[in-house]
Structure 1
Amino acid sequence: MLEFGKGIVSQKEINDRIYDFARKLYEYINREEKLYHVYYCLHGSMVRQFRSNFTNYQRQLENNILKNEVELQELRYDGKEENEKKLSGISSEEIYQSLQQGKTEEIEKIENRLHETEKKQNVTEYLEYIEHILEALSLFDGKLIGETSGQRFLMTEGCSSYDFRKVTDLQAYIEYKIEEICRMKNEKEKMIYSDVTINAMAYINQNYGDASITAAEVAEHVGVTSSWLSTKFKTETGIRVNDFINNVRIENAKKMFQDKEYMVYEVSEKTGFTSSQYFSKIFKEYTGLTPNQYRRKLLAGE
């Protein structure tokens, strides 16, 4: 808040001084890296009126959350209250059904609408739509498994590559996960992998119980370099060779627990893990339960 004395001669001078102050502040706090917006208001008020004025400008401030570039901007309020805009039309259930049934046109509409709501800069509508999409994606979490690849869909897989404080990164993450679901569901309909990747998968499925199996060994078996297989495998399946090995091991461990005869350490050894502790860690990452919790549920008939 700037307080002016008796030396001010015109409203224009007041406006110029406020703008000049805001500009200097903007340049100072962003001198090393552009991180902060600065908003200034030319509408004067008594201190006791400041709260109501701020409330009037709050929607304008909230909507600027979606801006990717920092800016210097004047706050303007026309005196009209904006009605709360609720997202109409598509729900999380409808998004889920579109993904589940592989409706290409509907999936494209979902992604296009995501960009449209961001461009509108209505933060309420945008965040509501984001929530609907994430709810739909979460219904596949840990449940969808690629028939050919053995890959399990996990919401957390790959999320460390994105900065969710950035609108562009959040959108890229959602589009990546939608693409991953579509690819995994298409595995039932057509073969989308090269011979090298298929041979690597087959070798892993046959030798997952060998604790010494490595990505380098798999590459040697299929006749390519380790780095080439790593790139090829990740491009085609969306996961690394070592992650696929763990996928196969955990799925086979779950099958062994269904026999109700094996102890945890026995399953750990037979599925190629070097220790029960490491087995428990990986098992919980993939199933949400420790091996003992999973085994007790099976024994209880749940």
Structure 2
Amino acid sequence: MLQALIVDDEPSHVHGLVKHIPWTKLGYTTPLTAESGEEAIPILEAGRIDVLITDVSMPGMNGIELAAEAKLIHPDIQILVISGYNEFEFAQEAIEVGAKGYVLKPLKLSEIERKLTAFRQTIESITQINEQTVKLKEIVSDSQGMLKDTFIFDILEEEPMEEEALRSWCQLLNLPNRPTEGIQLITAVLDNYSDSAAGNAQSKLMLGSALLQSASVALQDFGNLLVSKVRPDQVVVILVNPPIDKRSSIDKQMKFVQEYMHNSNGVSVTVGISRPGFDWRELNQIFREVNFTIADARQSGSGQLVYVGSTEQKAFEDFRMHENMLPQLLMLAESDDPVLLVDKVEQSFKDLERRGHTLAYIQSLSISLLGELSRKVWQDTEEINFLNKRAWHRLLDCKTTDMMKDIVIDYIRSAVMLVRKERTLQQHHLISRIVSYMEDQLSNSMTVKQLADRFHLSAGHLSVLFKKETGLTISDFVKNLRMKKAKEMLQDPSIKIYEVAERVGFQTPAYFTYQFKKNEGCTPQEYRDRFYV
């Protein structure tokens, strides 16, 4: 049976719903009740609540606020909002906080029953999905092979695995948290895979499987190992605490794999053997070092067996720094936080110097950075181009890394000032156009999404820009516009109050009166009377 909670500050309404709805027939137990949002929160926190029925207008916490809190406590809760105001604004707010139903007073019991039935069906569907997910987890837990494959894919990801997740995996697969004798990674890659077996999909699948099986057999005496096909043409083997007396024979065993694949399948295989690692979270770095070394070796021929030593590790780190540093700096530049960007530039120059890069290498990287910032981030304006050329000429005359760093940072700070000045000016003009349009369209209801579409912005970006420029949200700004215009028109006795409501964008005079009194402390008629007493 499902549990509902009814919240309304009028006890008679609560009693009527409890008494006249056939709860048991609809699949619900007797509902819990509360007379305020503040009273309802502890009930929501105390146990499972499937459905919340709340009045929108209550003292203190209103129904919209309560619905938002309920969603935080029970994400799957179904919410029905009741209102005495037939206004789109309330319905829209209810939907935005996650309500799935909206009904008006006076209530029709048949409509409430239909909503409760629909809620029950939705909850049953969610429950079924959750149950199926649990069953799937049980099936996966029974498959060690699938678990090992998943672990290898996760541990080789670009981002290191979280410590807690790593401990869970090690416990699940009976692996040591800290391999005392180290971890070694071997990868075997089919050469010219795209041309293998004349492109026949089944033959390619068989080649990948043969490579997997041959690597597993060749290294089966090396103790605890994990083997997986990470790509159709690539197999990875992770040796966990490999016996010291067997490590020297790894290359011999992998040469056996190469010979087997050549003799039995007519294909060549390139093999990469990593340096030792002593932490699981090193493996993503080690894996990339091996792949980089294999790619480099393949330029001079197929079917090789290569080791990753200190020289190969250094070559990969230099490559990665060049490939990763520029995108990282560009992302920081696009985030419009010059402090973070300058800090990252300073750190990058320290890293370059610490790694012993030549002055010419650092100079080349600095010029590349200036060019990328100018083109991709700051749009090659005339002022930016001038700064870029001046910095470029100064870099050519530099004799130290510190001088280059200072020139790059000076360029960044100057460019950011120029870009922000131009952007602020553009935003000011844009918001001015939007405000003028809103004033012209005051009698029409318009959502933020429609307004954003008209001016070719995302709704989120428009909201941020508008608040930054005016100090108000779009909703509050429109409300102020409406009130200001309404007060001007109310001073003209020839304009009837219902006409004022219509011209400033309210759908009904009643809601106009409600909002006017809420904002101004008096009704429109009382406000008008002040001028003609």
TM-score, normalised via structure 2 length: 0.20
- Larger of the two Rg values belongs to structure: 2
TM-score, normalised via structure 1 length: 0.34
